[in-house]
Structure 1
Amino acid sequence: MTFNPLEHRGIPLDRQLRNWRELNVEPVDPDRADPYTKCRIITLNGIEIESIMFSHHFARVCPDLEIKQQLAEVRYIEQQQQKVVNWLLPGQSSVLETTISYEQVATDLTAWVARMEPDPYLRQAYEFGVLEDFDHLYRYANLYEMIEHRKAEKIVDNLTEVIPGRPTPLHHRDPVDNVREPYNRNEADPISKLHALTIMSAEQQTMNFYMNVGPLYMEPIARQLYQEIGLIEEEHVTHYESLVDPGETWWERLVNHEYNECYVYYSFMETESDPRVKAVWELHLNMELEHLRLACDMMRKHDGRDPESILARELPAPLTFEPNKEYLRNLLATQVDLTTLGTGYVREAHERFERMQERIHDAVTPPSDAVIDEHREMYGDEYRLQTEGEHPVKSLQHVRAKR
């Protein structure tokens, strides 16, 4: 059954404000919750934060008091939604356990988007990025066992493998080579716009999370690993945000943000396994339908265009969290040795890449390698969660040798 959010009114804005009792949601059980329920929570937290920050940025350049007031009204409700969504995460989970869930999001969400993306250039951007998130999951899983003496398989529940991806030390590139070509807003498939917003939002929240939690650790290796991967998340946000057409008007962007929120809430409402969490997604969807209606009215009034001219007539197939093991293994076998050059991709090292590698590593073992070395010293080997066959790349040493 198709769902067109433009045909539904949702809950009137003046009835959306919730009191403290209503905001005080019970978190999911860290021992019994579906790992993908936690992934959906983390994803929607990133979606909400992007919507909130976009609204703030819009307000800062908007001279019209009435428009700023309406943005503020909707934004306050978005803040309440974000609090409810993020507060569903269990307080019993450690920062590292939440981090592993963040990287499971980055791996399986990006892999799913890459599989569904119709534009070959955009698909390549997601395929390139996911192999790096995949390796981050592997590095944090090793840190988790070292610090908390637990295994990541309890968190990812065999849904996502924990094996090396593109080696993290090789993710450090000259900043100019992290900028991609944008889609054309007049030609791009509507789903491509939703994909770009979704992955950008998720990576942005991961960047923000690592920026804040990294220095909370006392263990030097943990502080160093969060610092290194946090810098790579900056590269990833640059990589994904540059896919969005900068020619979109503020009104067009506002409508796209609200439509994307409807899409993700609807998707997760359709696929959520926890009935209590599903009820939250349904409630928020009904709020977002009204936010979308208001944004569309503003676009018609101030941009002089009909939102239907830029939006899909109905929501695409639901965004789904599901295992992507075979897909990721194929990408590892065929794309692990890629790096970027300008707005494209190459297999061989080039002068800018080598210069950046030399300057940032400076003959020092990077934290992402040090954590594996220290794990081997403690346990005799590295931690992996491999559910089938051998690693698709015979040796990752050849990838480094080519650099």
Structure 2
Amino acid sequence: MSFNPLQERGIPLDRQLRNWRELNVLPIDPDHADPYTRCRIIAMNGIEVEAILFSHQFARHCPDMEVKHQLAQVRYIEAQQQKAVNWLLPGLASVLETTIAYEQVAVDLTAWVARMEPDPYLKQAYHFGVLEDFDHLYRYANLYEMIEHRRAEKIVDNLTEVMPGRPTYLHHRHPIDNVREPYDKSVVDPISRLHALTIMAAEQQTMNFYMNVGPTYMEPIARQLYQEIGLIEEEHVTHYESLVDPGETWWEQLVTHEYNECYLYHSFMQTESDPKVKAIWELHLNMELEHLRIAADLMRRHDGREPEEVVAPQLPAPVTFEPNKGYLRELLGTEIDVTTIGTGYVKDMHERFQQWQEAIHGGEKAPSELIIDENRTKSGEEYRLETEGPHPVPSLRAHR
């Protein structure tokens, strides 16, 4: 059934404030919850954080006091939504368990977006990033086995494979080679706007998470691995945010943010297996419909345009967390030795890439390589979860 969020009416803003009892959500059971329920929670936390940060940036550049008041009112509700969503994560889970779930989100959400993306250049950007997140999952899974003596299949539940992707030490690139060409807002498919915003928000939240939790570890190898991958997540945010047309007005961006929240809450309602969590998705959707209505009215008043000029009148096919094993294996076989140069992609170790590698590594092994060596020494072998049979990763001939 089609759903047009621009025509639906949600909960009036003055009825959206929740008290402490209502915000005191029951967290999911870490031992029995659907792993994709946890993925949906992590993804929506990133979306809500991006909505809050965007609203703050908008307010800092907006001289209109009435608009600033409107942004502040909606933003406070968004902040309550973010707290309710993020507090669904169980306190019993370790930081590293949550980290592995973050990487499962990055792998399966980005792979799904890549499969659905109609623009070949944007699709290539998602292909490039997902092979790096795939390798991050492998590195953290080995760290998990080494310092917590547990195996990642308990977290990913065989839905996502764990094995080497593009080696993490090769993810370090000169900053100018992380900037992509933006889509053209005048001709872009509306779904491409949502894809870019969704993956940018997810990667931004991962970057923020790693930069904050990394130094809380005592083990030197854990601190080093979070530091290395945290730097790569900064590269990924640069990579994805540059896909967005910088010519979009603040009003266009505001409408897109609110529409995307409606889209994702509506999507996750369709597949959520936990009734308590599904009720939160439904409640937040009804709140976001009002936020979207407010954003659309602001756009009409201040930009002189209709929201249908930016977003589609009907929601696209729902975003789905599902296994992407075959798709990822195909990418591993064809695109593992790709790197970037300028706004494009090559399979050659060009001079700027080589110089950056030499500067960042200083002739030493990267933490992401050391963790595999150390786990082999401690456990007898590295950790992998290959549910579809062994898949030898092609040699990186371009980077030798």
Runs of 4+ in 1 over 6 A off after TM superposition: none
Q: How far 1:271 moved relative to its partner? A: 1.0
Q: How far 1:7 moved relative to its partner? A: 1.0
Q: TM-score with structure 2 length normalisation?
A: 0.99
Q: What does 1:167-246 align with in structure 2 at a 5 Å threshold? A: 167-246=167-246
Alignment check: 8 A CA contact 1:228 1:367 kept: yes
Q: What does 1:58-137 align with in structure 2 at a 5 Å threshold? A: 58-137=58-137
Structure 2 letter corresponding to 1:92: L
Q: Which residue of 1 aligns with 2:158?
A: 158
Structure 2 letter corresponding to 1:164: P
Alignment check: 8 A CA contact 2:100 2:155 kept: yes
Confirm or deny that 1:365 pairs with 2:365: yes
What is the CA–CA distance in structure 2 between the aligned matches of 1:290 and 1:171, rounded to whole Å? 41
Alignment check: 8 A CA contact 2:175 2:235 kept: yes
What is the CA–CA distance in structure 1 between the aligned matches of 2:243 and 2:392, rounded to whole Å? 29
**What secondary structure is seen at the aligned counterpart in 1 of 2:340?**
strand
Q: What RMSD over aligned residues (CA atoms) do the two structures have, in Å?
A: 0.7
Per-residue CA distance 1:4-55 (angstroms, 9 max, x = gap)? 1011010000000000000000000000000000000000000000000000
What is the CA–CA distance in structure 2 between the aligned matches of 1:149 and 1:294, rounded to whole Å? 50
Per-residue CA distance 1:332-362 (angstroms, 9 max, x = gap)? 0000000000000000100110000000001
Structure 1 letter corresponding to 2:168: T
Alignment check: 8 A CA contact 1:173 1:356 kept: yes
What is the CA–CA distance in structure 2 between the aligned matches of 1:7 and 1:189, rounded to whole Å? 21
What is the CA–CA distance in structure 2 between the aligned matches of 1:392 and 1:244, rounded to whole Å? 36
Q: How far 1:165 moved relative to its partner? A: 0.2
**What secondary structure is seen at the aligned counterpart in 1 of 2:345?**
strand
**What secondary structure is seen at the aligned counterpart in 1 of 2:396?**
helix
What is the CA–CA distance in structure 2 between the aligned matches of 1:35 and 1:392, rounded to whole Å? 26
Q: What does 1:2-81 align with in structure 2 at a 5 Å threshold? A: 2-81=2-81
Q: How many residues align?
A: 400
Q: How far 1:402 moved relative to its partner? A: 2.8
Gaps of 5+ in 2: none
Q: How far 1:400 moved relative to its partner? A: 6.3
Structure 1 letter corresponding to 2:396: V
What is the CA–CA distance in structure 2 between the aligned matches of 1:168 and 1:252, rounded to whole Å? 36
Per-residue CA distance 1:166-202 (angstroms, 9 max, x = gap)? 0000000000000000001010000000000000000
Of 390, 396, 399 in structure 2, the residue corresponding to residue 399 of structure 1 is 396
Per-residue CA distance 1:79-102 (angstroms, 9 max, x = gap)? 000000000000000000000000
In structure 2, the CA distance between the partners of 1:365 and 1:400, relative to structure 1 (3 Å rule), is farther
Q: TM-score with structure 1 length normalisation?
A: 0.98
What is the CA–CA distance in structure 1 between the aligned matches of 2:171 and 2:391, rounded to whole Å? 20
Alignment check: 8 A CA contact 2:165 2:393 kept: no
Q: How far 1:313 moved relative to its partner? A: 1.2
Q: What does 1:181-330 align with in structure 2 at a 5 Å threshold? A: 181-330=181-330
Gaps of 5+ in 1: none
Structure 1 letter corresponding to 2:285: L
Alignment check: 8 A CA contact 1:333 1:392 kept: no
Structure 1 letter corresponding to 2:244: V
What is the CA–CA distance in structure 2 between the aligned matches of 1:197 and 1:310, rounded to whole Å? 14
